[in-house]
């Protein structure tokens, strides 16, 4: 799978210390992901608390990751309900050397197909960088259907791909039939089925915690070792069942706190882990380390 945009792309988790990004811990986390062999980074992501960050933190994150991403590509999610903030993030992505930008639809406000089309046109027109649609209907309240993506493909010169987090394998398969579109699956539990359906890779929350597992799974599939890919996928599925039984950001950040032996801090509006959740995370990590 030689395409520029393909492979394993963690939805980059970002540690906070109070109101500030913990750059020391973020650097250690980036180093771990890159050493594991991830192909790209999805920056200002849902897992990375992007929609809860202020613009100053977003700009700091874009600069830091773009300057420390090694050979991995960086896709920056510029989504916001403030269009001037989108414009600022796009320009920062260009200035610091990000490889692409992405956006979900306008959220909070209700939107229809024509509204989504207009919004994506406007965001994509701000840059010559490759543009990715980010579809996460469970959070935005709107599902970007393949029909709309086809319409966009006929209009936008820089439409390059889509991160589809709908967890709808039929939709992923339909998107994968669109010529020239790099489809990334955003649902960890569909990691292998999405590749079989034609996705070029996955943008994964759990790859923050288990990067080697997700890289090994992708490589096994790419090399045609389907038996091994299936075995590894069963491990992914087991982890996803365990950790997605609680709010995903809590499980990912709780697990990363255990991995690094220090608090991988959430923005303080999130509740702390419950005791039973911490025990579940510890059990999952222990089971994977055997």
The confidence score (pLDDT) of residue 173 equals 98
The conformation of residue 30, written as its DSSP 8-state character, comes to H
The confidence score (pLDDT) of residue 288 equals 75
Active site residue 163: yes
The confidence score (pLDDT) of residue 289 equals 64
Q: Is residue 248 part of a domain?
A: no
Q: How far apart are CA 133 and CA 120, in angstroms?
A: 8
Which listed residue (142, 163, 202, 253) is catalytic?
Answer: 163
Active site residue 122: no
Q: Is residue 282 part of a domain?
A: no
Percent of the chain with pLDDT over 70: 99
Question: Please, are residues 3 and 204 in contact by the beta-carbon 8 Å criterion?
Answer: no
pTM of the model: 0.94
* CATH code of residue 136: 3.20.20.70
Phi, psi of 245, deg, nearest 5:
-75, -10
Q: Is residue 233 part of a domain?
A: no
Q: Is residue 270 part of a domain?
A: no
Question: Please, are residues 64 and 22 in contact by the beta-carbon 8 Å criterion?
Answer: no
Q: Is residue 21 part of a domain?
A: yes
Q: Is residue 92 part of a domain?
A: yes
Beta strands in 73-146 (DSSP E): 73-77, 100-103, 131-135
Q: Look at the chain and report how many structural domains it folds into.
A: 1
Which listed residue (64, 134, 221, 233) is catalytic?
Answer: 134
Domain boundaries, position 70: 7-214
Per the structure block, which two tokens stand in for 171? Answer: 């939709």
pLDDT tens digit string along 130-142? 999 999 999 999 9
Average pLDDT, the chain: 94
Q: Is residue 62 part of a domain?
A: yes
Dihedral of CA 251/252/257/260: which sign? positive
The conformation of residue 274, written as its DSSP 8-state character, comes to P
Q: Is residue 157 part of a domain?
A: yes
* Tens place of pLDDT per residue across the chain (290 aa): 347 899 999 999 999 998 899 999 999 999 999 999 999 999 999 898 888 889 999 999 999 999 999 999 999 999 998 999 999 999 999 999 999 999 999 887 888 999 999 999 999 999 999 999 999 999 999 999 999 999 999 999 999 999 999 999 999 999 999 999 999 999 999 999 999 999 999 999 999 999 999 999 999 999 999 999 999 999 999 999 989 888 888 999 999 999 999 999 988 778 888 999 999 999 999 877 65
Dihedral of CA 124/130/135/140: which sign? negative
pLDDT tens digit string along 77-129? 999 989 999 999 999 999 999 999 999 998 878 889 999 999 999 999 999 99
3-state secondary structure 127-157: CCCCEEEEECHHHHCCCCCHHHHHHHHCCCC
């Amino acid at each position: 799978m030689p395409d520029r945009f393909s492979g394993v792309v963690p939805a980059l988790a970002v540690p906070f210390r109070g109101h500030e990004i913990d750059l020391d811990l973020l650097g250690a986390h980036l180093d771990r992901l890159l050493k594991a062999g991830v192909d790209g980074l999805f920056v200002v992501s849902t897992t990375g608390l992007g929609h809860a960050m202020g613009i100053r933190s977003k700009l700091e994150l874009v600069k830091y990751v773009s300057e420390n991403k090694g050979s991995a590509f960086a896709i920056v999610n510029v989504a916001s309900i403030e269009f001037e903030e989108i414009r600022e993030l796009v320009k920062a992505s260009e200035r610091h050397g990000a490889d692409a930008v992405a956006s979900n639809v306008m959220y909070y406000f209700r939107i229809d197909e024509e509204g989504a089309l207009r919004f994506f046109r406007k965001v994509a027109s701000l840059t010559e960088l490759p543009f990715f649609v980010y579809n996460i209907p469970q959070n935005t309240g709107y599902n970007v259907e393949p029909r709309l993506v086809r319409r966009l493909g006929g209009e936008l010169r820089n439409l390059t791909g889509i991160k589809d987090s709908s967890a709808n394998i039929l939709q992923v398969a339909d998107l994968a039939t669109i010529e020239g579109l790099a489809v990334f699956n955003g649902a960890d539990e569909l990691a292998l089925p999405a590749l079989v359906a034609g996705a070029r890779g996955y943008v994964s929350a759990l790859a923050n915690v288990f990067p080697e597992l997700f890289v090994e799974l992708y490589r096994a599939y790419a090399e045609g070792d389907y038996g091994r890919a299936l075995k590894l996928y069963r491990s992914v599925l087991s982890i996803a069942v365990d950790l997605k039984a609680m709010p995903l950001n809590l499980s990912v950040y709780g697990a990363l706190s255990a991995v690094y032996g220090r608090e991988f801090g959430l923005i303080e509006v999130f509740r702390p882990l419950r005791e039973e959740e911490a025990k579940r995370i510890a059990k999952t990590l222990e089971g994977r380390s055997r």
